[in-house]
Amino acid sequence: MKILPLNEQIIWLTGASSGIGAALIPALQSRCKHLIITARNADALSALANGYSNVTVQAADITNEQQLQQVANYIGDQFGRIDTLIANAGTCEYVDVKQFDTALFRRVMDTNFMGLVYTVAAALPWLRQSERGYLAGMSSSVTWLAMPRAQAYGASKAATRHFLEAMRADLWHEGMDVSVISPGFVQTPLTDRNDFPMPGRITAEDAALAIIKGLEKRVFDIHFPKRFTRILQLLGALPAALRFRITRAMARNNNTTSSSGDTH
């Protein structure tokens, strides 16, 4: 089945108000037919869309199914289809096992996993109207190695990876492609709050270009920077006893602060 060239595609991008999402806007708009951008902050989206004739703002909270459905229906009514969905929106909060907070897990799972599920559910009918619809969702390289304090974030991203891999299998027979995006550390307002070393951290602009390169090829696993993600993959493949020695060395005993935000 034919794949539409990027310059003919209608693309829906969530989590577009900051971080990787904001960096994707100028990179995508110059390459696609029309880009619809979504996040909660309408003012931030409007500022980012300013000057681009092929970028449309549609604000929504990805944890709100009704709002996402309204955006998807708007896109369908205007363009008749969605060619590519980039489900980028996400958040991160770190766990303090001395003050275990179950509400933190719900917040992170609601945004990172259920928010993705709601977005996909809203987009699927219109992706099916494309010649060959394409779904790309944001996971994380942390899924290859269970990191201290990342119980909530890592679990949400592991659920995302499993969901997208299963969707790739089920949607293959409909001629639809699915990719999982797994960044390492990217310099964003979210990671700026981190209080630990971030090896191999790259700019959001470099991350955006790496994502677009993967989208153009429609590979399942879009991960970057490879000098970092390949090390994590190797560590994750070690026997459990060795993995635990590595992650125990990373763990802390003191109380730590949490980090949260709209995008990675």
Instruction: Give pLDDT tens digits for 49-92.
Output: 999 999 999 999 999 999 999 999 999 999 999 999 999 999 98
> What is the pLDDT at residue 258?
42
Q: 128: which residues sit within 8 A by CB, 6+ positions away?
A: 174, 176
Which one is the CATH code of 6-250: 3.40.50.2000, 1.10.260.40, 3.40.50.720, 3.90.850.10?
3.40.50.720
Is-cis flag, bond preceding 5, omega within 30?
A: no
> What is the pLDDT at residue 143?
94
* Active-site annotation, residues: 153
> Is this model's pTM higher than 0.75 or not?
yes
Q: Which residues of the chain have pLDDT under 70?
A: 187-200, 252-264
Chain centroid to CA 264: how far? 7
Question: What ranges do the domains of the chain cover?
Answer: 6-250
Torsion-angle region of residue 187: left (phi > 0), alpha (psi -120 to 50) or beta?
Answer: beta
